[in-house]
Structure 1
Amino acid sequence: MKDNLRLAAPVNRWEDAIPLGNGMMGVLLWGEGSSLRLSLDRGDLWDERTTGQAQWWKERPWHSLEDDADPWSQYYDGITPTKLPVGRLELEIDPARTIETFELDFATAQGLVAFDDGSSAQVLVSATSPVALLRFDGVSVLGTSLLPAGTVEDCGGAGPRSGGAVAALGYPPAERGQTDDAHWYVQDAADGFRYCAYVAKRRRGAQTLLAVAVTTTNDCAPGEDLLTLARNRCDRALAEGYAEVLSSHAAWWQEFWAQSSLEIPSPRIRRSYRLARYLYGAGSRRGAPPLPLQGVWTADDGGLPPWKGDYHNDLNTQLTYMAYHGAGNFESGESYLDFLVKLTPVFQSFAKDFYGTGGLASPGVMSLSGRPLGGWGQYSMSPTMSAWNAHLFYLHWRYTGDQEFLRDRAYPWCAEVGRCLAQLLSPDANGILVLPRSSSPEIFDNGPRAWLRPNTNYDLMCLKMLFLALTEMAEAQGDASAAREWARLAEGLGDFHVAADGELLLDAETPLRESHRHLSNLIAIHPFNLISVDGGERDNERIRASLAAWDELGTGEWCGYTWAWMSCLRARIGDGEAAARHLDVFTRAFVSRNGFHLNGDQSGEGFSNFTYRPFTLEGNFAAMQAVHEMLLQSWSPTPGKRDTEVIRLFPAVPWHWHDAAFTDLRAEGGHRISARRENNTTTWFGITAGKDGPVRVRDGFGGREPEWANPGVTRDGADFVAWLAKGEVLEGRLPRPDQVPDDPAGVTARVG
């Protein structure tokens, strides 16, 4: 596939490695000289022990909070709960050979290793079976070391290596074993949880095959032994052989990539997009845990992962799961939605015990089991984080049009969130519905100032979007009474807080007056489109004033995800030049060699005061969504009203993207859309309807009307409207200009 990830050796940092995975198992491929390393991970490896009281949130409920107190931060300070690494496999190759390059073949999801004499190795983590497989052609593997996640001494005493990570967790040394053709260890963890890493080797003529399995007690049936299970998985893969395993693996990936495609003329941004989409396939599958901060590529640096490798629901999970819809890779997103549905009883108990309400609440920072972890309580314990999670259910329904999903999963889960939040609201002196306390992530850090006047704009925007989405969902199921109640709650929240010039404030009286990493007071613009360019002069005044204020404050306190999210927002308002500029900075300055999002500025060019290297995934996926926003938008200008989405083709493409195209990107309404842009103008598009009814296409054609292949297309204001049956195709063509027009004044320099 075009734009494969290629890295010249040496690759001597884990966060620069080639990432491979199948949703449950993850591998990072790296090394130097004649040493090849595979950092191993598994999605369900967690130590869930709490710090202090076992259920401290029952002892420190929300209503007991004193004005200047935050009793919940202390519970995040302990080592656990935390995501765990597995360990590392190190292979010593014939020293006569030296690794020259590493490559990730996107089409087949294989890691490719090239040696200086022309020999090679291939690595895959099977998409269809729970095993990794390595094939060496004409290369001798002289040594195999499986380094357990135990103490530093267990790993050879050579300083921080894979395994030193859990020395402080109090686990006993791993039980190790080996035969002539296999190595393994079994690690006892906490609360009866155990895991096993196993590697087996087999020679086939000039080829050497290795199979790697990681099993846990979660895999085992009653009476089943996890070591035997790991051995059987490896033996089966070796018996099948690399070619046979690759055949089913490659078929899975072919289906994954076949859902959609796009072409844009910025190589770096295009590579960033393809990597992020690949990470969905490698890291997020139904039946496996969803992506936490680092997915299935937990840090292999001798320590436990940054921020516990947990589920941050104050933007990280929401940005991580914002881009799969447009690409049509819905199974990747269902991993997270299934996870949230499965945890419904846990979240219902949390709402009752912590907030004193019915319904459900997903903690702002949580473990794999849904356990609240504490932390900066203004955000980690905020009830409105559940509303942003609910928005992911709403979007999944809007993009799939799946009424069964709406009935059985989306509406019940979102309505339970709505019930919790509705019970927390009460009228203030002016009759406006407000929460007892309110905050705006992650402004003013963890001090008393972080408690702002209810409702903050962030909380208000999350609440209003939730209630409007529930209005749509109730109407779609014919429940007019519930729809009226949700609409009443949305109306009862009142208007957003603005300054005299229209700038969106943090709350009714506090402007944002410091550079900030979280677009918390702008969330109504993106992703919620509660304030939009279609909203009249008032909305446009608010957009202009708010972005001018953000520009004035500068980017000194931005993280990488801020640049990617701001690119989405700029594209949403039709500013393709700014969208491209922000995305260009992200892909140049806030990624590692392999494209992983690193929170700090790695360029040395001063884009941010943050220059640290913690890797988290949400920036990658926000950057992927920015590309979608530039090529295709379908949001409704009237949230809360059913089936009012408007399709916008190439709505925020920078001038220098003279030619671009996409095939089968998805839009709200369940539509599949393909389009082509040549010499700076749309020349063709086809829309396959996802439902019966009107399809609205915004007239962004510069005064030219398409030649329609369908009869009966009419104009309604700024939109063309056609009535289509589900599966019917609306096609339009426009003439191709003979040449690229001259650059207009003020366009961004070529980027990416």
Structure 2
Amino acid sequence: MIKTKVDWPSFMARHDMTWSVKPNSWNEGAFIGNGFLGAMIYSEEHREKRNVLRFVLGCTDVTAQKPGGGFPPRVPVGELHLELVGWYYQPSSIRLDLWNAEMRAEITTTVGTLKVRAFVHSQDQVLSVELETSEGERAARMSWYAFSEVDHVLKNADGFNLNQYIPQAEVVREVNEDGLHVAVQTFNYAGGCTTAWIERRPEKGENLHQLWLSIGNGFNEQVKQKIEANVRNAVNQPRESWQALHRSWWHDYYQQSFVSIPDTMLESFYWIQMYKLASVTRSDGMIMDNQGPWLTTTPWAGVWFNMNVQMSYSPVYTSGRLELGESLVRAFRDNLEQLIRNVPEQYRGDSAGLGRSMSYDLAGNVGTEVGNLTWVCHNFWRHYRHSMNHSMLEELLFPLLKRSVQYYLHLLEEGEDGKLHLPPMISPEYGSFLQLTVPDTHYDLALLRWGCQTLLRIVRILDIDDPQKAKWETTLEQLVPLPVDETGFMIGAGQPLEFGHRHFSHLMAVFPLHLMSGDTTEERELIMRSLRHWFSREGDLRGFTFTGAASIAAALGEGDESLKYLKTLMHLLKPNTMYREAGPVIESPLAGAEAIHDMLLQSWGEEIRVFPAVPSTWREVAFHDLRAEGAFVVSASRAEGATMWIRVKSLAGQPCRLKTDMTGDIRMSASSNIQYRSLGGGIFELDLPQGEEAVLYRADYATADRGSWEVEPVPAESHMCGYFGGNKPWRLYGLPIQ
């Protein structure tokens, strides 16, 4: 029923990241990865290193034990250097080809030229680098260095590692008869990693120079054999077919859903985040941490759960890329016993919890920041609602949420007012350096209320009579209301928002929990008052501040305001769309992609809201196969500032209610005898069986009589194509660039 007129290679090419001068820092680098292995590619301006193109390597599961305890952090694994004969010079160009997930460069040096192509294979744990050189650069070579061996000029180019644990490492190298190099690093306390590579230099009369490299966590013989096999298998594959396999995975991945908007910069930003998601994690990969495979100088070489992980995963649901969310699901399923051990011993019989920061084993004791596990359960709820996977609901989400809520229930105290209150807790990240605790924090009250409501909903879905049901109902009845003053939502009881606050922890009831819809005049006024006061404090506003505000504004239907927050985010990102404070924190750009989803499609509550917050300047918009709660696949098109048609397909046969701004004579086209009813206010109810689909459309839609519903890209602003990569602020102003 839907005809997609998307020339995918051409469409994605307009969003490729481009560099017309060499990138000289992590902030500008070209990044490649496959969820396990990655490389950030950039150079250096120091005169002693102007001949080096760095591939700063990363392996997402390599950690090291620190002396004196603490969780084992991520650690650097080494670098691959393309060491040129001459200095990297002009004219040169780099392109990160999103469609094929590979970096291509044409480099001019002071003695010659060369072409470089590199990718991390989508299904094999192998980095591939190919060179084609002129005669002057024929002696260019590729050299691997353990981090401890990297020259200090390069090692500290992105900042000194003042807050980061870097283990001492013993490096043992060997070369096999077939030219396979192996380097085993053993860290001084615990941990290590193994790197293997084969380099094929060009024979006489040839100029193709190739290298294949793999990295693995661990240093025993079993790991060594696995990494060696990775490289040998790649080398022995026919070059073109191995590359085609890599590309095929990415092509299928991108086409799971489609988004096109008339702001080419934001459209490019969105698709780079989709590329980034699959470069950071896979269904069988590690949890998305703060930096993905591209580890650099950071005080946060671990996993943070007071917002970072939850927001990093937020765009996988509406985009329909649910398989990437499986890495989070699997980690919590595998570590349930540890989550139980995270709470004090007297509560372990029925409770579980999650601290703020930890390693991949989820070992982090719960202190006075209590709500982190409940927030992760909200991610799982979204995963369930977008997939309607009942086994996940029954086997993971229900028991985990039940334990998370039960820990809160142990802490509740009845006050003199007869209401249930929470003791002083931390509201992330208000007064962080003071370790400020406040009773009845909005953050925790909202999460507890959402948790009880969701548990009651789950027992209805599963048709079980849980003995705790009455307790959850009583808690909802007696729980103290969210603290509010004349400025709006407070941090907690007796604690107004007095200074700049980077986190939206005092607005959790609005986003992401959507306990408050803003549908009533009173709710809307309270939310807007809170939003205005939040930003009037200015102060410590960060990237994720603006993504949260964008999603809150979108929930209220304020598309123009949501766009302003997103445009502000663009100024805080690095040229390659990464985000960095004292270290990389990957969630802010990924949450920006979720804010774009919130402008186009929302499905919390009882309705699927199509184009709920489209900015007035976005006259044409199209999306295809985005996911909505209830496991619906939704496509829609907007032209001349009005919605033309909406297609919805049911994957699970759930009740379907659509809300749209379409006006006039609205009709339905369906493949079978599907009934629909107008409930007023732009709300339509469809009786849509599993596997069936229907289109609501305006009667005056030009192609409706042909039964043709076309999805095609919005025309691009040519000067904004290839905007990200190298720093190009002049393109914002439409200077005449071909």
Question: Could you state the TM-score of these two structures normalised by the residue count of structure 1?
Answer: 0.84
Q: CA deviation at 1:717?
A: 3.9
The yes-or-no answer on 1:726 pairing with 2:705 is: no
SS at match of 2:355: coil
Distance 2:167 2:584 in 1: 26
Correspondence 1:180-579 to 2 at 5 A: 181=179, 183-203=181-201, 205-217=206-218, 224-299=221-296, 303=297, 305-307=298-300, 309-353=301-345, 358-372=350-364, 378=368, 382-447=369-434, 450-453=436-439, 455-481=440-466, 483-499=469-485, 501=486, 503-534=488-519, 536-554=520-538, 556-579=539-562
**Map of 1:595 onto structure 2:** 577
Q: CA deviation at 1:126?
A: 1.0
**Map of 2:630 onto structure 1:** 669
Q: CA deviation at 1:422?
A: 2.1
Instruction: Provide Cα deviations, 1:597-655, integer angstroms capped at 9, x if missing partner.
Output: 234xxxxxxxxxxxxx632101011100010000111110xxxxxxxx20111111111
Instruction: Provide Cα deviations, 1:278-313, integer angstroms capped at 9, x if missing partner.
Output: 1111111122211111111100xxx5x232x21111
Question: Could you tell me which amino acid in structure 2 is paired with residue 46 of structure 1?
Answer: T
Distance 2:469 2:503 in 1: 32
Q: CA deviation at 1:317?
A: 0.9
Q: Give unmatched runs, 5+ long, in structure 1.
A: 53-74, 600-612, 637-644, 739-749
Distance 2:404 2:664 in 1: 46
Q: CA deviation at 1:162?
A: 8.9
Identify the match of residue 646 of structure 1 among 589, 607, 619.
Answer: 607
Moved more, 383-392 or 429-438: 429-438
Instruction: Provide Cα deviations, 1:641-671, integer angstroms capped at 9, x if missing partner.
Output: xxxx201111111111110100000001100
Q: Give unmatched runs, 5+ long, in structure 2.
A: 1-11, 45-49, 703-731
Distance 1:261 1:729 in 2: 18
Correspondence 1:66-215 to 2 at 5 A: 81-95=72-86, 98=89, 100-116=92-108, 119-138=114-133, 140=138, 142-150=140-148, 154-156=149-151, 158=153, 160-161=155-156, 169=166, 171-178=168-175, 181=179, 183-203=181-201, 205-215=206-216
Contact 2:342 2:365 in 1 (8 A): no
Contact 2:625 2:634 in 1 (8 A): yes
Q: CA deviation at 1:354?
A: 8.5
Contact 2:370 2:425 in 1 (8 A): no
Distance 1:635 1:138 in 2: 55
Instruction: Provide Cα deviations, 1:162-201, integer angstroms capped at 9, x if missing partner.
Output: 9996996552432234579554421112554221222211
SS at match of 2:119: strand
Q: CA deviation at 1:735?
A: 5.5
Distance 1:364 1:168 in 2: 19
SS at match of 1:83: coil
Question: Could you tell me which amino acid in structure 1 is paired with residue 142 of structure 2?
Answer: T
Question: Could you tell me which amino acid in structure 2 is paired with residue 28 of structure 1?
Answer: M
Question: Could you tell me which amino acid in structure 2 is paired with residue 471 of structure 1?
Answer: L
Moved more, 224-233 or 207-216: 224-233
Contact 2:64 2:190 in 1 (8 A): no
Question: Could you tell me which amino acid in structure 2 is paired with residue 634 of structure 1?
Answer: S
Distance 2:154 2:608 in 1: 56
Question: Could you tell me which amino acid in structure 1 is paired with residue 489 of structure 2?
Answer: L
Moved more, 84-93 or 97-106: 97-106
The structure-2 alpha-carbon separation of the partners of 1:596 and 1:386, relative to structure 1 and needing over 3 Å to count, comes to same
Considering only aligned residues, what root-mean-square deviation do their CA atoms show, in Å?
Answer: 2.8
SS at match of 1:565: helix
**Map of 1:604 onto structure 2:** none
Question: Could you tell me which amino acid in structure 2 is paired with residue 726 of structure 1?
Answer: Q
SS at match of 1:406: helix
Question: Could you tell me which amino acid in structure 2 is paired with residue 421 of structure 1?
Answer: Y
Q: CA deviation at 1:124?
A: 1.1
The structure-2 alpha-carbon separation of the partners of 1:502 and 1:14, relative to structure 1 and needing over 3 Å to count, comes to closer
The structure-2 alpha-carbon separation of the partners of 1:174 and 1:359, relative to structure 1 and needing over 3 Å to count, comes to same
Contact 1:149 1:162 in 2 (8 A): no
Contact 2:611 2:660 in 1 (8 A): no
SS at match of 2:678: strand
SS at match of 1:29: strand
Instruction: Provide Cα deviations, 1:226-272, integer angstroms capped at 9, x if missing partner.
Output: 44433332222112143222121111112211210110011111111
**Map of 1:586 onto structure 2:** 569
Identify the match of residue 708 of structure 1 among 655, 665, 668.
Answer: 668
**Map of 1:27 onto structure 2:** 39
Contact 1:679 1:737 in 2 (8 A): no
Distance 1:90 1:193 in 2: 24
Q: CA deviation at 1:693?
A: 4.2
Question: Could you tell me which amino acid in structure 2 is paired with residue 35 of structure 1?
Answer: V
Instruction: Provide Cα deviations, 1:380-415, integer angstroms capped at 9, x if missing partner.
Output: xx1211111111111111111111221122222222
Question: Could you tell me which amino acid in structure 1 is paired with residue 124 of structure 2?
Answer: S
Q: CA deviation at 1:728?
A: 1.1
Contact 1:9 1:31 in 2 (8 A): no
Distance 2:58 2:362 in 1: 20
The structure-2 alpha-carbon separation of the partners of 1:343 and 1:50, relative to structure 1 and needing over 3 Å to count, comes to farther
Moved more, 195-204 or 269-278: 195-204
Q: CA deviation at 1:704?
A: 2.2
Question: Could you tell me which amino acid in structure 1 is paired with residue 117 of structure 2?
Answer: Q
Distance 1:237 1:464 in 2: 52
The structure-2 alpha-carbon separation of the partners of 1:20 and 1:172, relative to structure 1 and needing over 3 Å to count, comes to closer
Contact 2:31 2:38 in 1 (8 A): yes
Distance 1:148 1:98 in 2: 27
Distance 1:402 1:229 in 2: 34
Distance 1:723 1:244 in 2: 46
SS at match of 1:146: strand
Instruction: Provide Cα deviations, 1:95-115, integer angstroms capped at 9, x if missing partner.
Output: 397571222111121111123
Distance 2:597 2:154 in 1: 44
Identical pairs, percent: 23
Contact 1:475 1:483 in 2 (8 A): no
Contact 1:357 1:424 in 2 (8 A): no
Question: Could you tell me which amino acid in structure 1 is paired with residue 446 of structure 2?
Answer: M
Q: Which has the higher contact order (CA 8 A, sep 6+)?
A: 2
**Map of 1:686 onto structure 2:** 647
Contact 1:351 1:357 in 2 (8 A): no
SS at match of 2:484: coil
Question: Could you state the TM-score of these two structures normalised by the residue count of structure 2?
Answer: 0.85
Instruction: Provide Cα deviations, 1:71-106, integer angstroms capped at 9, x if missing partner.
Output: xxxx6xxxx632111111101235397571222111
Distance 2:523 2:139 in 1: 64
